[in-house]
Amino acid sequence: MKLILTIFKWATAILCCFVVLVTVGMTVRYASTLYENNPDSYITIQDDNMRHEFMGTATDEASSFIYSPDKAARYKQNKPNYSVDIRPNSPVGYYYMVSTLIFVSLGALILGMFWQIFSQISLDAPFNSRVVRLLHTAAYLYIISEVLGFIHYFVLGKLLNNAMQQNTLHQITEKGDNLIIGLIILIIAVVYKRGLEIYEEHSLTV
Amino acid sequence: MPIIVNLDVMLAKRKMSLSEIAGKMDITLSNISILKTGKAKAIRFSTLEKICEILDCQPADILEYKK
């Protein structure tokens, strides 16, 4: 059991460091793209599972890129769906970069919480108040990320469809899994808190 | 908590120190200290029995209910 805890601790630590590096890398990449201000450079929109598929309402074929009137966005048909690129120096571009950085940072924060949890848990004294606090924070972060994900889906759709008048695009993405994980962790945190109370009561029984 | 532990009063009456009773009861000084300072959340019957036996008193002499 101790070995499993150690493996989890190091796995979350490595993953957390990796996501932090990805966040830094993305920030540098976005900053350099904005600084270059190249009119031909575009970013492909992806969801949190790295999928970049959109549903569209247009009936005509789009085998090559079709640009929005202000060239802020373009789309191409990847049958049966679409992939969408956006220009960094545009309202939708700014919004997409900021929101992506927020989501990746949230991911790093959640992994950091789990790293802390696995570091704090000891089999000799399994219940401590810090773990309860960390579990609650991790659960709320999952729920917040889900709520932000929903808001992001609608705001991105609105901005994209304001720019793109030829086609109404909807991102194909899976939502709800973070909410379920958050609620499960919240239940675990509540049960763990009760366990902590019983443990404290037991240690104060003479 | 309205339950008051009068262990210190009984110890003073019997002229016994905390470490002495802890040694006779075979429990740690920190545990008996938790009881004396009123931090304890519960007391086992076996512990109460030992205290009454050593101090030659009744449970009511150790525990008191005050509103």
Angle A103-A109-A114 (CA atoms, 0-180°, nearest 5)?
Answer: 130
With a cut of 50, list the residues of chain A below it in pLDDT.
none
Q: CA end-to-end span of chain A, whole Å?
A: 31
> What is this model's ipTM?
0.78
Contact across the interface for A201 and B41, Cβ inside 8 Å:
yes
Nearest chain B Cα distance for residue A189, angstroms? 23
- Omega before residue B2 within 30° of 0, cis: no
Let me know: does A103 contact A148? Beta carbons within 8 Å.
yes
Q: What per-residue confidence (pLDDT) applies to A62? A: 64
Higher-pLDDT residue of A83, B6 = B6
Q: What per-residue confidence (pLDDT) applies to A49? A: 65
Closest residue in B to A201 (Cα) is B41
**φ and ψ of A59, to 5 deg:** -100, -20
Which of A200, A201, A205 is nearest residue B44 as measured by Cβ atoms? A205
The span from the CA of A133 to the CA of A189, in Å, is: 8
Q: What per-residue confidence (pLDDT) applies to A180? A: 94
Which of B27, B39, B47 is nearest residue A204 as measured by Cβ atoms? B39
* CATH architecture assignment, domain B3-65: Orthogonal Bundle (1.10)
Q: What per-residue confidence (pLDDT) applies to A41? A: 81
| Residues 183-202 in A contacting B (C-alpha not used; CB under 8 Å) | 200-201
